[in-house]
C-alpha cells in the first residue's frame, strides 16, 4: 500500500507513551503448520476464541521497536532483525511457531509505511512505536499449546516513556516481589513476565518512584533489571557495567549503548553480577535503558527502607550518560553517520 503522505495534526512534542489508534495494522495467521498470507487491516480489535491459550495460559509474546524520521525525511527502524531473532527465541520457549524473519520485517515495514501519516516528524522528540505480537488463538481448554496463532504488528506514535520529559533523572524502588526465577522466562519477552510486575510497579510508584527495580530472585543481592528496561551503571572508576543475569531481557538498546561506549568513547565495559548494597557507593551514574525508556538516568534508588542518591543531587543527568544518550538518539534519528550499520530504512 502506498503511504498517505499528509501528517496527522497531533501535538507530537506533547505525546506520552499511550496507545493512539493508527489507521492500519498487519496480521498473519499460522494454521495447520503453515503461515497463511498476511495483510494490512484497519480493525484494531481481535476476535479470538474464549478458550484461546493466550488468554488463559499466557501463550503469547511481543516485541517493541521504534520507527523515526531522519533529518533528510527517510523513515528508519533500529536493528529490527534483532527484534525478529528475540521474538523467535521467545516463541520457541513458549512452544509457538517462529515468525520467519522475512515475514517479520515485511509486516513491520508494511505497518510503518501504511501509517506514514502517524510517524512523528524529525525533531519532534516523538517516534512511532512498533509492537509486533504473537498470540495463541483458537479453541482450547487443557494446558497444551494452541493449534493456531496470530502474528500482528500495530503501531502508535509515542513520546517519552517516563513522565519526566527529556533527559531528566528518574527514580527506582527495589521490589519486594521477584520478577523472574533463575531458570524461568525472565530472558524472554513473554507477556506473563509483565503481569506479575504490575503490582511491583504500583508499589514503586506509591513510594514516589518511576518504576520497580528487581534484584535476582535467588539471593536478592544482585541487580537484575527494571520493570521495562535494563540497567547500565557508570562506576566512579570510569568503567560502564551492566548486570549479567539469565533472568533479564537481553536489551537491544543496552547492547547498542555498550557498543557505542566502547567503540566511540573508549569506555571499558563489563557485563557482571552487581551487588546493589555492596557496590552502590561506587556508582557514579546509573541509567535504565530500553526501546521505550531510551537511556533514562536514574537519580535515586529506594532500598532497605530509604532513598539512596546516585551521586550528584539525585535529579540531574551525569555527563557520561548525557553523551551516551546524545550519541544513541542521534544515531537512531539518522543525524550522524550510521557507522555501525544499525539503521534499516523503510521505503515510503
Question: Does residue number 64 form part of the binding site for ligand PLP (CB under 6 A)?
Answer: yes
**Nearest distance in Å: CB 185, ligand COI:** 15
Q: Which of 150, 211, 224, 225 binds ligand PLP (CB under 6 A)?
A: 225
167 contact, one of ligand COI, ligand PLP, none, CB 5-8 Å limit per kind: none
Closer of 27 and 230 to ligand PLP (Cβ):
230
What are the E-state strand segments in 13-70?
Answer: 25-31, 34-35, 39-41, 60-62, 65-69
Catalytic site residue 189? yes
Tell me how far apart the alpha carbons of residues 214 and 211 are, in angstroms, rounded to a whole number: 10
Q: Which range binds ligand COI by CB under 6 A, 35-43, 289-297, 303-311, 315-323?
A: 289-297
Binders of ligand COI in range 125-184 (CB under 6 A): none
> Which residues from 63-92 bind ligand COI, rule CB under 6 A?
64
| Nearest to ligand COI of 293, 301 (CB atom) | 293
204 Cβ partners below 8 Å, 6+ apart?
Answer: 172, 173, 175, 210, 211, 212, 213, 227, 302
Binding of ligand PLP by 170 (CB under 6 A): no
Asked if 249 interacts with ligand PLP (CB under 6 A), we say yes
Cα–Cα distance, 214 to 217 (Å, whole number): 8
Can you read off the three cell numbers belonging to residue 160?
517519552
Q: What span, in angstroms and rounded, lies between the C-alpha atoms of 92 and 240? A: 32
230: partner contacted, choices ligand PLP, ligand COI, none (Cβ within 5-8 A by kind): ligand PLP
Separation of alpha carbons 181 and 248, rounded Å: 10
Site string for ligand COI, 231-270 (x = CB under 6 A): ----------------------------------------
Which residue of this chain has its Cβ atom nearest to ligand COI in the complex?
64
Asked if 16 and 126 count as a contact pair (C-beta separation under 8 A), the reply is no
Q: Does 291 bind ligand COI (CB under 6 A)?
A: yes
Q: Which residues contact 149 (CB under 8 A, 6 or more apart)?
A: 29, 30, 96, 97, 134, 135, 136, 137
Number of residues that bind ligand COI (CB under 6 A): 5
Residue 230 as a binder of ligand PLP (CB under 6 A): the answer is yes
Told to check if 175 binds ligand PLP by CB under 6 A, we report no
Task: Give the CA distances from residue 12 to residues 5, 112, 158, 286, in Å, rounded to whole numbers and listed in that order.
Answer: 16, 17, 8, 28
Shortest distance in whole angstroms from residue 63 CB to ligand COI: 7
3-state SS of 317-339 is CCHHHHHHHHHHHHHHCCCCCCC
The verdict on 178 binding ligand PLP (CB under 6 A) reads: no
The residue within the footprint of ligand PLP, chosen from 27, 201, 253, 287 (CB under 6 A), is 253
Q: Are the C-beta atoms of residues 284 and 318 closer than 8 Å to each other?
A: yes
- 280-299 residues in contact with ligand PLP (CB under 6 A) are 290-291
- At residue 325, φ and ψ (nearest 5 deg) are -60, -50
> Residues 228, 242, 245, 332: which binds ligand COI (CB under 6 A)?
228
Catalytic residue among 189, 203, 323, 339: 189
Q: Which three cell numbers stand for residue 269?
A: 565495559
Question: How far is it, in rounded angstroms, from Cα 156 to Cα 119?
Answer: 8
What residue number has its CB nearest to ligand PLP?
A: 290
Nearer to ligand COI by Cβ, of 39 and 165: the residue is: 165
Confirm if 153 and 109 have CB atoms less than 8 A apart: no
Binding site for ligand PLP (CB under 6 A): 64, 225, 228-230, 249, 251-254, 290-291
Residues forming the active site: 189
Binding site for ligand COI (CB under 6 A): 64, 228, 290-292
Amino acid at each position: 500500500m502506498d503511504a498517505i503522505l499528509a501528517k496527522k495534526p497531533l501535538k507530537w512534542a506533547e505525546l506520552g507513551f499511550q496507545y493512539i489508534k493508527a489507521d492500519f495494522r498487519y496480521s498473519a495467521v499460522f494454521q495447520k503448520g503453515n503461515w497463511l498470507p498476511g495483510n494490512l487491516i484497519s480493525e484494531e480489535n481481535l476476535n479470538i476464541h474464549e478458550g484461546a491459550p493466550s488468554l488463559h495460559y499466557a501463550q503469547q509474546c511481543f516485541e517493541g521497536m521504534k520507527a523515526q524520521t531522519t533529518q533528510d525525511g527517510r523513515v528508519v527502524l533500529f536493528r529490527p532483525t534483532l527484534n525478529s531473532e528475540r521474538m523467535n527465541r521467545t516463541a520457541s520457549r513458549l512452544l509457538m511457531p517462529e515468525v520467519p524473519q522475512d515475514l517479520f520485517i515485511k509486516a513491520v515495514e508494511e505497518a510503518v509505511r501504511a501509517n506514514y501519516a502517524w510517524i512523528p516528524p524529525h525533531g519532534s522528540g516523538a517516534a512511532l512505536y512498533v509492537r509486533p505480537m504473537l498470540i495463541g488463538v483458537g479453541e482450547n481448554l487443557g494446558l497444551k499449546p494452541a493449534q493456531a496463532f496470530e502474528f500482528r504488528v500495530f503501531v502508535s506514535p509515542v513520546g517519552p516513556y517516563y513522565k519526566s520529559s527529556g533527559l531528566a533523572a528518574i527514580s527506582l524502588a527495589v521490589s519486594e516481589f521477584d520478577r523472574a526465577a533463575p531458570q524461568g522466562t525472565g530472558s524472554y519477552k513473554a507477556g506473563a513476565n509483565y503481569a506479575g510486575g504490575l503490582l511491583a510497579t504500583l508499589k514503586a510508584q506509591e513510594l514516589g518512584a518511576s518504576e520497580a527495580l528487581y534484584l535476582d530472585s535467588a539471593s536478592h543481592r544482585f541487580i537484575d533489571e527494571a520493570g521495562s528496561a535494563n540497567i547500565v551503571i557508570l562506576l566512579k572508576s570510569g568503567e560502564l557495567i551492566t548486570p549479567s543475569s539469565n533472568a533479564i531481557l537481553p536489551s537491544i538498546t543496552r547492547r547498542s549503548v555498550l557498543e557505542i561506549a566502547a567503540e566511540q568513547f573508549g569506555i571499558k565495559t563489563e557485563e557482571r553480577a552487581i551487588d546493589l548494597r555492596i557496590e552502590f557507593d561506587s556508582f557514579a551514574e546509573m541509567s535504565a535503558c530500553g526501546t521505550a525508556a531510551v537511556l533514562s538516568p536514574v537519580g535515586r534508588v529506594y532500598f532497605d527502607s530509604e532513598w539512596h542518591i546516585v551521586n550528584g543531587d539525585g535529579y540531574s543527568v551525569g555527563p557520561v550518560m548525557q553523551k551516551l544518550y546524545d550519541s544513541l538518539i542521534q544515531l537512531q534519528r539518522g543525524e550522524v553517520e550510521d557507522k555501525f550499520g544499525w539503521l534499516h530504512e523503510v521505503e515510503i
